[in-house]
Structure 1
Amino acid sequence: MDDQHAFTILLAEDDEIMRTYLTTALEKAGYHVIAVESGVAAMPHLESADIDLLLSDIVMPEMDGIELAQHCNELSPHTKVMFITGFAAVTLKASREQPNAKVLSKPFHLRDLVLEVQRTLGDRAQASL
């Protein structure tokens, strides 16, 4: 990864413990993370920031991750999308609605998350987890 430009990840996760856990792991791997608690809170960042990757939980109140990804596609078409979920049924819906998005099912190892983020972003950096 180019030290001059750390990739920026917008993380939308309604579970505070999971959000903190994922933020810490991604920052340790060298990414700049903007962590928010909902899809609604993520929207202003998609409109104003240069986001490389939207990493979103699928099941969230107010605006689910799939709806957030649809807004992302309109507002920031260069931003790649990855989903995380603990529900198998929504994995299938996400795959239909956002066929280019990677879906990681909970529970997953942090190293697997970092490796998938690296693959998605085309990042050559090695995972340190």
Structure 2
Amino acid sequence: MLRILLAEDDQVMREYLTRALERSGYAVTAVDRGTAAIPLLETERFDLLLTDIVMPEMDGIELAQRASEMCADLRVMFITGFAAVTLKAGRTMPQARVLSKPFHLRDLVMEVDRMFETDNVGGTY
């Protein structure tokens, strides 16, 4: 089972995304801020970091940069409602996907599935 680390400071959104991804067959560990994700990245293995960009303490871009240094093969997807930070995320981490809020849960799950399609075809997982 593929493992997702979700960093989202909005509790309702965090619970909503967690439920949708779990129903789609993913194992999800959810935290409310980037600084809470770092210790988990140090001790556990994740296949995807799904992070909001605008969060207190540590924004999602900094979290993704630190996570990529710790786990080179970790995929990253940003979620944000701010167009300006979407551009910054794209410049900082061009290999990451960006999904703009508002989005339908079906779109989120499709994007996450798409990130793993090449691995599933090749039988890596």
With the length of structure 1 as denominator, give the TM-score of the two structures.
0.90
String of CA shifts for 1:50-107, please: whole Å, max 9, x gaps: 1000000000000000000000111111110000000000000000000000000000
Q: How many residues align?
A: 119
Corresponding residue for 1:3? Answer: none
Corresponding residue for 1:24? Answer: 19
Runs of 4+ deviating beyond 3 Å: none
Corresponding residue for 1:127? Answer: none
Q: Secondary structure at the match of 2:15?
A: helix
Task: Give 5+ residue unaligned stretches, structure 2.
Answer: 121-125
Q: Secondary structure at the match of 1:115?
A: helix
Tell me whether 1:13 sits opposite 2:13 in the alignment. no
Q: Distance in 1 between matches of 2:4 and 2:92?
A: 21
Q: Distance in 2 between matches of 1:54 and 1:114?
A: 14
Tell me whether 1:42 sits opposite 2:37 in the alignment. yes
Q: What is the identity, as a one-letter code, of the residue corresponding to 1:36?
A: V
What does 1:25-104 align with in structure 2 at a 5 Å threshold? 25-104=20-99
Q: Secondary structure at the match of 2:78?
A: strand
CA RMSD of aligned residues (A): 0.9
Q: What is the identity, as a one-letter code, of the residue corresponding to 2:86?
A: T
Q: Distance in 2 between matches of 1:78 and 1:39?
A: 19
Alpha-carbon offset, residue 121 of structure 1: 1.9
Q: Distance in 2 between matches of 1:98 and 1:27?
A: 26
Task: Give 5+ residue unaligned stretches, structure 1.
Answer: 1-5, 125-129
With the length of structure 2 as denominator, give the TM-score of the two structures.
0.93
